[in-house]
Amino acid sequence: MQTEAPSRYLLRVENGQLAVYAGGSGQPELCGEVTLSALPEEEQQHLLQGVWAESRQELEGLLQDYSS
């Protein structure tokens, strides 16, 4: 049985680092590649509230933006 990829991803702060949650998952799919303090203040505020990516492609773009 093949599981369907989540259609949305939530990016938020977990222990001072960027964490990615797939769909409504309670466990992060990815965590720790970006430290919150390394980001500009405005982006930090958005991530503290949570940022939704509507597709895997959008998620990858956001992660690239935050890590550069």
Domain presence at residue 16: yes
19 lies in a domain?
Answer: yes
Q: Does 49 have pLDDT greater than 70? A: yes
Tokens of 4: 């369907």
Averaged pLDDT for residues 2-9: 70
Flag whether 29 is in a domain.
yes
Q: Is residue 4 part of a domain?
A: no
Q: Is residue 1 part of a domain?
A: no
Strand runs (DSSP E) across the chain, as ranges? 9-14, 17-22, 30-35, 51-53
Higher pLDDT among residues 4 and 53, named by residue: 53
Give the pLDDT of residue 31: 86
Domain extent at residue 22:
9-67
Number of domains making up the chain: 1
**pLDDT mean over 4-32:** 85
Q: What is the mean pLDDT of the chain?
A: 87
Residue 21 included in any domain = yes
Q: Which residues pair with 13 in a beta bridge?
A: 18
46 within some domain: yes
* CA–CA separation, 53 and 68 (whole Å): 18
Query: Which of the four pLDDT bands, split at 50, 70 and 90, describes residue 40?
Result: very high
